[in-house]
Amino acid sequence: MIEKDLQYFTIEAPTPREALEQMRRQYGQEARILTHKTVRRGGVLGMFAREGVEITGYISQKPRNKPTAMSVATLEESRQKILAEARREQSLQLILNEIQSLKENLSKDNGGKKLPVDTPGGLLRIESILQHNDFSPPFIEEILGRVRKEFSLEDLDNFSVLQTQVLDWIGDKIQIYPALQIPEQGAQGAQSSKVFIIVGPTGVGKTTTIAKLAAIFGVSGSSSTSPKVQIVTIDNYRIAALRQIETYAEIMRIPVTCVESVGEFKKFLAMAEGTGLILVDTIGRSPRDLSKLAEMKDVLDAAGTCCEIHLTISATTKASDVEEILKTFEPFKYRAVILTKIDETLRIGNIISVLAASRKPISYIADGQSVPQDIEQASILRLLMNLDGFRISRERLEKRFGERVKINDTFWS
């Protein structure tokens, strides 16, 4: 449609191209072509005329291609959208990077062992609590294997149920040795004797434990005039060690005897026939000092089959050392393990793992230096209560595994 009040023009040129160039030169970018036709130009009397082009047109008043206010807004909107999208993708990438690095850290914490990408959170949490308590890798693997087998994915979401079950499984693996029994008096008033021997590495608390047991069994309400408990030490090579046990014995008014050889020990046992309980303290031996251990075994063998040997291990000993100690003392045919210094560590998974693997029961637990308070009969409850990181319901564990037996409760009452 032709617009009104416009400026119109007509241009003639030899070629369409030249006509167009002339139009742009004269009227600029706003010039619009309306018609164009071929015309004959020049010549004389109709002769020598040449073909040319004529174009007509007008100058538009609308600025050409100038963006409208609307299009500027739309442009800005699109720009913002593109930027927002870019930012969103950037954040997603950051999150993905973060997840990747978390996965790598978890796998490093797991001793470099790659966890399956889809390992459920509950399982990871249990694994980390067991590691924190120093349970051995095979023990942890066994527990996790059982969880995988017996728990559905939905059940794994219930951490309270999961940890309760795991605690029960740990408890089931702990073996407890029955408490020490003093032989009953015979019909004619004669008493048979029990020889209770403690062996173990140096400094684990053998003498202290002997003193604690002597106090409990020797002082608690015997009306008999004959001594119910006697202490024997074959640790008389060291003056200090002898003084240590003599001091305890004196306070408790319990006789203490030193023996140095197989012969002396045999003689003592023959004389002590009928005493209720004979507690034997031994020299602390390094598990590597094999010849000295053999020497001590010769002396202890003199006690024959009436003796019961218990091996003392400190709860602070690392798993590989516990394994070595258990093996080295094997020739003594110890019946159970006395666990000392449990007050010095919060991590007893190492001890539980190794004892479970070697099927050794625990008889007593010592948790301090005070004589006689800091000792109790071993119980699954006491060991489970010592684990760190589990939410423990004492009441439930008591129902499941029985109560803690504080021997000193009876002693002090």
127 touches ligand GTP (CB under 6 A): no
Ranges within 351-370 binding ligand GTP (CB under 6 A): 366-369
Selection from Mg ion, ligand GTP, none that 260 binds (CB < 5 to 8 A by kind) is: none
Ranges within 201-220 binding Mg ion (CB under 5 A): 206-207
Q: What's the min distance (Å) between Cβ of 324 and ligand GTP?
A: 17
246 touches ligand GTP (CB under 6 A): no
| Spatial distance between the Cα atoms of 329 and 337, rounded to a whole number of angstroms | 11
312 touches Mg ion (CB under 5 A): no
Q: Print burial letters for 272-281: b (CB count within 10 Å at least 16), e (below 16).
A: beebbbbbbb
Torsion of CA 384, 386, 388, 394, to 10 degrees: 50
Residue 206 or 310 having the CB closest to Mg ion: 206
206 touches ligand GTP (CB under 6 A): yes
| Near ligand GTP by CB under 6 A: residue from 63, 121, 178, 203 | 203
Selection from Mg ion, ligand GTP, none that 202 binds (CB < 5 to 8 A by kind) is: ligand GTP
What string marks each residue from 218 to 237 as x (binds ligand GTP by CB under 6 A) or -? -----------------x--
| Spatial distance between the Cα atoms of 231 and 229, rounded to a whole number of angstroms | 7
Residue 274 or 287 having the CB closest to ligand GTP: 287
| Near ligand GTP by CB under 6 A: residue from 228, 310, 341, 360 | 341
| Spatial distance between the Cα atoms of 329 and 321, rounded to a whole number of angstroms | 12
- How many CA atoms does the CB half-sphere of 369 hold within 13 Å? 2
Q: Print burial letters for 230-244: b (CB count within 10 Å at least 16), e (below 16).
A: bbbbbbeeeeebbeb
| Spatial distance between the Cα atoms of 303 and 268, rounded to a whole number of angstroms | 10
Selection from ligand GTP, Mg ion, none that 203 binds (CB < 5 to 8 A by kind) is: ligand GTP
| Spatial distance between the Cα atoms of 170 and 149, rounded to a whole number of angstroms | 16
Q: One-letter amino acid identity for 23?
A: M
| Near ligand GTP by CB under 6 A: residue from 165, 193, 207, 408 | 207
Cα maximum dimension of the chain: 171
Selection from ligand GTP, Mg ion, none that 308 binds (CB < 5 to 8 A by kind) is: none
Please tell me the count of residues contacting ligand GTP according to CB under 6 A. 19
What string marks each residue from 137 to 176 as x (binds ligand GTP by CB under 6 A) or -? ----------------------------------------
Burial class (CB in 10 A: 0-12, 13-18, 19+), 28: exposed
Nearest to 317 by CA among 353, 277, 358: 353
Binding positions for ligand GTP, rule: CB under 6 A: 202-208, 235, 241, 284, 340-341, 343-344, 366-369, 374
